[in-house]
Structure 1
Amino acid sequence: MESDYQRLFIEETSFYNRIVLQTLLPNWIWESLPHFCQTWLRNYISATIVYFLSGFLWCFYIYYLKRNIYLSKDSIPSNKAMLLQMGIVIKAMPWYSAFPTISEYLVENGWTKCFPRASDIGWKSYIFNFAIYLIIVEVGVYWVHRLLHDVKPLYKYLHSIHHVYNKQNTLSPFASLAFHPLDGILQGMPHVVALFIVPIQFSVHILLIFLEAVWTTNIHDCVNLKHWPVMGSGYHTIHHITYKHNYGHFTVWMDWVFGTLLHPKDDYNESEEHEE
């Protein structure tokens, strides 16, 4: 039987569903759908909007408003390259949207350590648990990403799709989610694994998953800025060029610990040896 505590989670996801679906769709399209399908539809619409809105705004800023300031004309990707990246994401987005939908289903059924309100555990525990959650995500994403490179079949059949973009004039904010669907889900999996290890507020978990799209947009823009210890685009561009450095997520700490860190230079040598 559904507990009062579980009902709080369902009420929260239903609230998010109504905000998005009532705003953008006629009621008859979504009201008759099961709750799980409503949640998937909300995630699909929201993720698509976040991807295209953040991508277009950031491209407009760095390629036009700040043209030749952050990047030279030769470093700006062609419209064709960006359209190809968008095409990959459009095909993968239904599968990406299933990922947070399933994680919300696990939470709603009481199978994780999520809690609905910050008052449930107190602020000291809240902040401590949030820090542990981020550490788990940071460690998990680093190793998943590194294994996607080191395990040859995983690289060949999954991750190589993303690494077609290996030069400044091919990388763009729209490459941020241009993965094989399974690749993208694997790299997001630490967010779900952490739910079974450490108590975290449900709404924070959802927010962090969607912030991933904004974050990855930024680190694929090729702007050569070094903000240690943040894994900014200066570091991540090197990853796309060398294939063997800077696997980290939000920070470069894991790369520093495991010896895969390479700092940006003012004029990075794009001809440096990389995998074929």
Structure 2
Amino acid sequence: MRTDAIPTRRAMLLQIGVALKAMPWYSALPTISEYTIEHGWTKCFSRISDVGWVTYFFYLTVYLVFVEFGIYWMHRELHDVKPLYKYLHATHHIYNKQNTLSPFAGLAFHPLDGILQAVPHVLALFLVPTHFTTHIALLFIEGIWTANIHDCIHGKLWPVMGAGYHTIHHTTYRHNYGHYTIWMDWMFGTLRDPLDDEVKKI
């Protein structure tokens, strides 16, 4: 990585400050989802043995596809609907160059923006039978994942939406809205490959 691609201490401290203000609010959605689960309003089940491993992996696949689709469109609408962008998502997009992105940017959102992008995880509980512990684990992984895609280190593991793709999102605003994979961007015509950008620079 070039020296000028490393974020400044000031940029990282700003991101940490925004993230710390937002994180207490991020806990609201898991609290609500657990409340609905405890009251039996969702399709959650407590033990994999209740459904068997084959059915568990089928439901998990459906859950992940639903979440991928939901987060893609939620993220895209946060760009396309101007008031949503201006009052919510722009807080995150002040980090619009490689040398302002760091893992801390992955949690530096307006609180409502962060909650909206996690809503598909909760909606899925009402539509897809979901193993409770797996749901909680995926919410935890969400925090790690969002830090990972903001670290500017592209792992080049197709079809994963790595940091190379997400850095392009932060510099163009119109590409790579996806979450864990590039499939939704490919399907809906918003994919831009960082390898293509590297070839153009040569």
Q: What amino acid is the match of 2:101?
A: L
The answer as to whether partners of 1:246 and 1:255 remain within 8 angstroms in 2 is: yes
Unaligned 5+ runs, structure 1: 1-70, 270-276
1:121 alignment counterpart: 51
Structure 2 CA distance for aligned equivalents of residues 244 and 143 of structure 1: 13
Q: Does 2:184 match 1:263?
A: no
Structure 2 CA distance for aligned equivalents of residues 98 and 152 of structure 1: 25
2:28 alignment counterpart: 98
What do residues 182-215 of structure 1 show as CA deviations (whole Å, max 9, x unaligned)? 0000000000000000111100000100101101
Structure 2 CA distance for aligned equivalents of residues 119 and 205 of structure 1: 16
**Which SS does the other structure have where 2:99 is aligned?**
coil
Structure 2 CA distance for aligned equivalents of residues 90 and 217 of structure 1: 14
**Of 82, 96, 107, which aligns to 2:12?**
82
Q: Does 2:99 match 1:169?
A: yes
2:88 alignment counterpart: 158
Q: Does 2:196 match 1:251?
A: no
Deviation of the 1:268 alpha carbon: 7.5
1:22 alignment counterpart: none
1:205 alignment counterpart: 135
Deviation of the 1:267 alpha carbon: 7.1
What do residues 223-270 of structure 1 show as CA deviations (whole Å, max 9, x unaligned)? 24432210000000000000000000000000000000000032777x
Structure 1 CA distance for aligned equivalents of residues 200 and 48 of structure 2: 45
Query: Which structure has the larger Rg?
Result: 1
The number of equivalent residue pairs is: 199
Deviation of the 1:101 alpha carbon: 1.1
Q: What amino acid is the match of 1:122?
A: G
1:219 alignment counterpart: 149
Q: What amino acid is the match of 1:236?
A: H
**Of 44, 65, 74, which aligns to 1:135?**
65
Relative distance call for 1:119 and 1:225 in structure 2 (3 A) is closer
Q: Structure with the greater relative contact order (CA < 8 A, sep ≥ 6): 1 or 2?
A: 2
Q: Does 2:38 match 1:108?
A: yes
Q: What amino acid is the match of 2:65?
A: I
Deviation of the 1:72 alpha carbon: 1.2
Relative distance call for 1:258 and 1:145 in structure 2 (3 A) is same
Structure 1 CA distance for aligned equivalents of residues 199 and 36 of structure 2: 47
**Which SS does the other structure have where 2:186 is aligned?**
helix
User: When the two structures are superposed, what TM-score results if normalisation uses the length of structure 1?
Assistant: 0.70
**Which SS does the other structure have where 2:93 is aligned?**
helix
The answer as to whether partners of 1:224 and 1:266 remain within 8 angstroms in 2 is: no
Matches within 5 A, 1:14-25: none
Deviation of the 1:128 alpha carbon: 0.3
Structure 2 CA distance for aligned equivalents of residues 127 and 224 of structure 1: 28
Deviation of the 1:152 alpha carbon: 0.4
Structure 1 CA distance for aligned equivalents of residues 132 and 37 of structure 2: 8
Unaligned 5+ runs, structure 2: none
